[in-house]
Amino acid sequence: MGPLEKPLCLFSLVLFVTLFSSTINVASASDEEANALLTCKANLQSANDSLLTSWILPPHDSGSTNASPCNWFGVSCNLDGTVIRLNVTNSSVNGMLDNFSFSLSPNLAYIELSINKFFGVNPPLICSLSKLIYVDLSTNQLSGNIPLEIGLLINLETLHLFDNQLNGSIPQKIDQLKSLIELALYTKSLSGPMHTLTNLGNLTRLYLYGNDLSGFIPPEMGNLVNLVELYMDGNNLTGSIPFTLGNLNNLTVLHLFNNSLSGSIPQEIGQLKSLQSLTFQTNNLTGSIPTSLVYEYLKRGSLAVIFNKDEEAKELDWPKRVNIIKGVASALSYMHQDCTLAIVHRDISSNNVVIDEEYEACVSDFGIAKLLKLDSSNWSAFAGTYGYVAPELAYTMKVTEKCDIYSFGVLALEVIKGKHPGDFITSLLTAAVENIKLKVVLDQRLSPPSPEVEEVVISEIGDADSGRRRIGDGWLSTVAVNATTKEDDWKRRRRRRRRRQWSRQREAE
Ligand SMILES: *[C@@H]1O[C@H](CO)[C@@H](O)[C@H](O)[C@H]1NC(C)=O
Ligand SMILES: *[C@@H]1O[C@H](CO)[C@@H](O)[C@H](O)[C@H]1NC(C)=O
Ligand SMILES: *[C@@H]1O[C@H](CO)[C@@H](O)[C@H](O)[C@H]1NC(C)=O
Ligand SMILES: *[C@@H]1O[C@H](CO)[C@@H](O)[C@H](O)[C@H]1NC(C)=O
Ligand SMILES: *[C@@H]1O[C@H](CO)[C@@H](O)[C@H](O)[C@H]1NC(C)=O
Ligand SMILES: *[C@@H]1O[C@H](CO)[C@@H](O)[C@H](O)[C@H]1NC(C)=O
Ligand SMILES: *[C@@H]1O[C@H](CO)[C@@H](O)[C@H](O)[C@H]1NC(C)=O
Ligand SMILES: *[C@@H]1O[C@H](CO)[C@@H](O)[C@H](O)[C@H]1NC(C)=O
Ligand SMILES: *[C@@H]1O[C@H](CO)[C@@H](O)[C@H](O)[C@H]1NC(C)=O
Ligand SMILES: *[C@@H]1O[C@H](CO)[C@@H](O)[C@H](O)[C@H]1NC(C)=O
Ligand SMILES: *[C@@H]1O[C@H](CO)[C@@H](O)[C@H](O)[C@H]1NC(C)=O
Ligand SMILES: *[C@@H]1O[C@H](CO)[C@@H](O)[C@H](O)[C@H]1NC(C)=O
């Protein structure tokens, strides 16, 4: 890597000049750093399998007195030849992080050790390194608490500790990291309260989802006006959603689902003009999503609107339609899984599936306004759109996942047919899928699909058909099997998106 060699040459020059003036303590500092890194390496359990094989001292007979680690894999130095960057991400390194003598590299600004198998009872003693700008220890096996001393890292802009086994609470001292731009702590087992964060004025992305955080969302969060993404879902947050969140002008993502929030949805949320993704479900909230947002979000409109206009329906070609069906299926399987309360959308129809600019389907929050209040399997009013509700369920008034699955089957047929299937559903009951003429089923406004797409389309019809036929028994478990993979897929997509965003941000830096 070019940039690594250049500092080395400059370093020799600097050394040459300084030899005349005083000591060669630059070289000895470098020796010290090299030895410290070698000690760490010696303690790793996989040093020979990993990319660290370049971490060796020059042979004694090479005439080199310079033990600089600056050209080692993953190590970068500044002009003085001291280590400023350590990057061994995804390098199959397995060992105890406690053994890294970080304090011997006081100029370290970037530590990137993510995606390895580092373990240790505490995140290492990095906290003496006041020059740190970037720390990523994510996706390792660190355990114990986040140390209080983390508050000393006042220059830190990025802190990623997610995907570890860290527990205990988030130290209030985090609020001293006033340079912080990105904080990612979704690490499964952090507990304790959400602290009042008032100093993190530059914070842009905050990822706290999937922990066990409790208490209220502090209203002061409304002061973090640079926030672009805020993920707090999957915790045990209580109380109401502070209306001050409506001040977060730049917010594009607000995920609060799967908590114990109560009270009414603050209408100030409607001021969030940049919002692209908003989730409130699996809480105990009342009220509805501000209408301004709903219209803001409907870039292309609902499926029903699209199918009503021939021109727009033609834009929605077969691959796009297949994607839409898959998108709705993932959304549903996600909603149906891991929920403390029965999460049933209750109103899956082409009116409630909206298509964004990239033709990705989103199950809209129209229905969620009803869903939010849902806390038992007992409800008294008819919810759902006529023509999408399973007949045997419409009368029992019982909410089960089957409501959605039947509606999904109808919707899938509608996407293929380009209009509500109507009586066609009944004919599916009596005829075998193989005997149905595909031409009759397909939206006549499109030219017939390619053989590959046709195959998928037929299997979707088959799915919708078996949904109809086996409603009430086998179908649910059938869906559950596939839902698992679909949910994984959903999570992978979400994860990929985040990684992409991070790497984009890094490139920008
Ligand atoms: C790694 O390989 C070197 C030489 O190939 C050997 O001396 C050393 O013991 C090995 N280390 C481990 C941890 O296996
Ligand atoms: C670490 O190195 C990887 C490639 O090995 C690169 O993609 C990544 O951006 C680097 N991270 C930092 C923080 O420099
Ligand atoms: C990690 O490395 C493996 C193999 O070297 C590669 O397949 C994988 O995509 C990498 N993961 C990330 C997140 O970069
Ligand atoms: C590595 O760390 C462990 C635990 O702190 C300690 O027992 C061990 O002696 C350390 N090894 C070295 C070489 O410092
Ligand atoms: C954190 O995990 C450690 C084991 O890794 C355990 O000993 C400790 O009790 C846990 N602390 C909390 C607060 O859960
Ligand atoms: C926030 O960012 C701006 C611009 O990068 C910087 O000038 C300011 O010092 C930062 N604020 C803090 C508290 O670090
Ligand atoms: C929001 O974004 C705009 C443009 O992307 C930027 O200029 C502004 O500084 C950001 N912060 C706030 C608080 O508006
Ligand atoms: C809800 O949160 C809990 C706790 O974090 C988590 O285990 C569960 O998977 C989450 N469920 C969903 C649907 O996200
Ligand atoms: C959530 O918090 C409430 C009140 O603090 C508590 O009663 C409840 O047990 C917690 N739920 C979980 C799943 O931890
Ligand atoms: C939901 O909130 C209402 C008050 O708005 C309360 O009576 C009810 O007990 C809460 N339900 C749950 C499950 O917390
Ligand atoms: C459902 O609610 C109604 C009225 O709220 C009540 O009379 C009925 O007993 C409830 N049924 C069940 C099964 O909880
Ligand atoms: C799951 O989906 C695949 C196609 O994605 C399909 O071939 C398979 O039959 C489905 N499995 C079940 C049990 O429905």
For residue 111, the model assigns a pLDDT of: 92
- For ligand 1, atom 4, the nearest C-alpha belongs to 48
pLDDT of 471: 30
246 C-beta closer than 6 A to ligand 8: no
Query: What is the pLDDT, as a whole number, of residue 222?
Result: 94
For ligand 6, whether the C-beta of 168 sits within 6 Å is no
DSSP assignment of 292-309: HHHHHH-SS-BHHHHHHS
pLDDT number for residue 23: 34
The ligand 12 atom nearest the CA atom of 479: 14
Phi then psi for residue 99, to 5 deg, are -80, -10
Please name which of 256, 194, 201 lies closest in space to residue 224, comparing C-alpha atoms.
Answer: 201
Single-letter code of the amino acid located at 508: A
- CA 100 to ligand 2 centroid distance, Å: 19
**Cα separation of 254 and 276, whole Å?**
8
Question: What residues does CATH 1.10.510.10 cover in the chain?
Answer: 303-496
Q: Whose CA is nearest to atom 3 of ligand 3?
A: 90
Q: Which atom of ligand 4 is nearest to the CA of 43?
A: 13
Q: Which atom of ligand 12 is nearest to the CA of 481?
A: 13
What is the pLDDT, as a whole number, of residue 185?
Answer: 93
Q: Which are the contacts of 376, defined by CB distance < 8 A and separation ≥ 6? A: none
Residue 258 Cβ contacting ligand 8 at under 6 Å:
yes
Closest atom, ligand 10, to C-alpha of 263 = 5
List C-alpha distances in Å: 462 to 109, 407, 425, 456, 471. 57, 15, 12, 10, 13
> pLDDT tens digits for the chain (509 residues)?
333 333 322 232 233 333 333 333 344 567 778 888 887 777 777 766 667 777 887 766 555 555 678 888 888 998 888 889 999 999 888 888 776 777 778 889 999 999 998 888 765 567 778 899 999 999 999 998 888 888 889 999 999 999 999 999 999 999 999 999 999 998 788 999 988 888 899 999 999 999 999 999 999 999 999 999 999 999 999 999 999 999 999 998 888 888 999 988 888 988 887 776 777 777 888 776 666 555 444 556 678 888 888 988 898 888 888 888 877 777 666 655 533 333 455 566 777 677 766 677 766 543 333 333 333 333 333 444 555 555 555 544 455 566 667 777 778 888 888 888 777 766 665 655 555 666 677 888 988 877 777 766 666 655 554 444 333 222 322 332 233 334 444 444 445 545 544 555 555 55
Q: What is the largest CA-CA distance in the chain?
A: 97
Q: Please state the atom number of ligand 3 nearest to the C-alpha of residue 90.
A: 1
Query: What is the Cα–Cα distance from 327 to 294, expressed in whole angstroms?
Result: 19
Q: Out of 141, 142, 167, give the residue to mutate to test ligand 5, the one with the largest number of ligand atoms within 8 Å of its CB.
A: 167
Question: 236 by DSSP, 3-state: which?
Answer: strand
Ligand 6 centre to CA of 102 (Å) is 26
- Ligand 2 atom with least separation from CA of 87: 1
How much is the pLDDT for 364?
Answer: 53
Q: Whose CA is nearest to atom 8 of ligand 10?
A: 284
Looking from the CA of residue 46, the nearest atom of ligand 1 is 13
Q: How far is CA 71 from the centre of its chain?
A: 35
pLDDT of amino acid 270: 81
Predicted local distance difference test score (pLDDT) of residue 80: 84
Tell me, in angstroms, the distance from the centre of ligand 5 to residue 387's CA: 53
CATH superfamily of 80-297: Ribonuclease Inhibitor (3.80.10.10)
Task: State which ligand 7 atom lies nearest to the alpha carbon of 250.
Answer: 1
* Helices 451-469, 474-508: inter-axial angle, 10-degree rounding: 130
Q: Rounded to the nearest whole angstrom, what is the distance from the C-alpha of residue 228 to the centroid of ligand 7?
A: 9
State the fold for domain 303-496.
Transferase(Phosphotransferase); domain 1 (1.10.510)
C-alpha 262/C-alpha 253 separation (Å) is 20
Residue closest by Cα to atom 1 of ligand 6 = 202
CA of 297 to the centre of ligand 7 (A): 20
Q: Please list every protein residue whose CB sits less than 6 Å from any atom of ligand 5.
A: 143, 167-168
- The upper half-sphere exposure of residue 112, i.e. CA atoms within 13 Å in the direction of its Cβ, equals 18
Which residues line ligand 2 at a C-beta cut-off of 6 Å?
87, 89, 110, 112, 134, 506
Rg (CA), the chain: 28
pTM tops 0.75: no
DSSP state of 229: E
Residue 85 alpha carbon to ligand 1 centre in Å: 26
Q: Give the torsion through C-alpha atoms of 304, 306, 308, 313, to 10 deg.
A: -130
Closest by CA to 460, choosing from 366, 361, 362, 319, is 319
Q: What DSSP state is assigned to residue 440?
A: H
CA separation for the pair 289, 279 (Å, rounded): 10
CATH 3.80.10.10-classified regions of the chain: 80-297
Backbone angles phi, psi at 497, to 5 degrees: -60, -45
pLDDT of residue 102: 76
Mutational test site, ligand 9, from 169, 214, 233, max ligand atoms within 8 Å of CB: 214
Buried b vs exposed e over 69-108: b needs ≥16 C-beta within 10 Å? bbebbbbbbeebbbbbbbbbeebebbbebbbbbbebbebb
The finding on whether 400 has its CB within 6 A of some atom of ligand 10 is no
Output the pLDDT for position 252: 85
- CA–CA gap between residue 90 and residue 139 (Å, rounded): 9
Atom of ligand 4 nearest to the CA of 39: 13
Report how far ligand 4's centroid is from the alpha carbon of 139 (Å): 22
Neighbours of 112 (CB within 10 A): 20
